[in-house]
Every structure is written in structure tokens, then in C-alpha cells.
Amino acid sequence: MNAPVSSIPAPLRVAIAGCTGRMGHMLIEAVMAADDCVLAGALDREGSPAIGQDASAFLGKASGVAITADLNVGLQGADCLIDFTRPEGTLAHLAVCRALGVKLVIGTTGFTDAQKAEIAAAAQDVSIMMAPNMSVGVNVVLRLLDMAARALNEGYDIEIVEAHHRFKVDAPSGTALKMGEVVASALGRDLKDCAVYGREGVTGERDPSTIGFATIRGGDVVGDHTVLFAGIGERIEITHKSSSRATYAQGSLRAARFLAGRASGLYGMDDVLGLG
């Protein structure tokens, strides 16, 4: 008699880039706590003192996965890589993922247009989910901003204020820029033409067609974003505040599960959440 075939699906094998950073630790913890995922690889930069250590040692338990700087070793056998590093590092990871057929969840921000085009080209061969923010709440806010901008399309000045921890290296944040893009698109504008990223001195009256940005950096702020629609006699503020990176980790795993059934293509969190 033949043995019954198991109906339990194989766990999703997830590799983590930048595994020793704050977000890397949060992602490893989330993967190891998920019933349907297993840690398959842990990548860190060349020369890191953590190379060779167990990736989950910080949790006080062993994963059996050693931290490595060798991309081919770290991605061998992985179904998906989750990457919250820097643009240059992500593009290096992208090339190896493309060659090995490993799907990629990108939470890195600060890409140039040319780098984004490189990612889009790779998506012809492997499935990629790229978003400036993996939070479910932030992506719901993006939908609300589209609705608000269409309704408040005359007589309202638009300003975007974001705050992050002192260690963040890019400004404005990728999330703030995405919010600006959503608002500008809803108004029939191009953010490149109407964004104002700083004001100093005698600036003159505010141009009503512009979208302003203000950036705050300090302490351990995980991420706060507010879009202000300021009219005469009233103002509307749409705000999202993150108190933990756990929401980004859970959103990333949701994205990895979404990619599992897709061979190629470039997707966003709106696709993952069914908001498209």
C-alpha cells in the first residue's frame, strides 16, 4: 500500500539581508515565529564580526543558519529574500536573486530612477515586491490620501511632515515620497515638478500648486508621517505613527507569501493587500 501523500505545504524558505540590524533582527524573529516559514539564509556585510554566528543567537536559541557574506551560500535553497538594506546592497542582492530564481521583497528606500528601472528589468525574470513601507496601515493611508486629494483639489495647501530615528540616512523618507506621489497623481501633477523640500529666508508667498516636505530626525522614532491639507477656516490631517518595526516585519512576510505563487512581475503592497 502506498503511503498517503501529505497535504501540509512545505514551509516558505526565507532569507534575510542585513540580518544583524534592527530590522534584520525583527524579521528573523518574525520568520521563526511563523508556522509557515523557515529561516533559510542570513546575510551580512563582508567583515562583519557576526559572520559565522548563528543568525538567531540574539533570541537565545539556535536556528542552524550561520550568518554569511557569501550571497550564493546565503541564498542557496531560499525561496525568497527580504531586503531592508541600502540601494547598492539591494542591487547586488538583486543580481544574485535573478540568477538563482529567488523571489525578492524590497523594503529598501532611496533608489534613483535608474536603479528602479534596473529592478523593473529584473522583475521580468523573477517576482519582486517593492514598497517604501510594508505596514498594512500605511498602505491603507495611501488609499485614503488618494481619496482626500481628489476631494480637496482646490483651495487646500498640502504639506507632508515625517519623523524618523537619528540613524536614518535618506530624507525625505521613502514613505513620505510615496505619499507625495499618490497625492500629486490624484491632482494630475508630477511630484518632480511640484515638490518643495526646504524653505529658508524670504521665500515669498506659498505657491498653491506645490507639495511641501518637512523632515525631522532624532532619537528612536520608528516612523511618523502626517499629510496636512490646509484650507481657509479648516485643515485636515491624515497621520500614521509606527511604534514598532514588527508591523513592517509582518507586512514583509505577507508579501513573501504573496510572491510564492508568482514566477515573475513587479508588485506593490497594494497588490499584496488587494487594494489595487
Taken as a whole, the chain contains a residue count of: 276
Q: Is 266 helix (H, G, I), strand (E, B) or coil?
A: strand
Residue 115 CB coordination number (10 Å): 16
Is position 61 annotated as part of the catalytic site? no
The DSSP H or E segment spanning 113 is helix 113-122
Residue 168: active-site member: yes
Contact between 108 and 88 (Cβ < 8 Å): no
Encoded amino acid at 85, one letter: T
* Catalytic-labelled residue, pool 25, 93, 103, 164: 164
Distance CA 257, CA 73 (A): 23
Distance between CA atoms of 86 and 136, rounded to whole angstroms?
A: 22
**Could you list the active site residues?**
164, 168
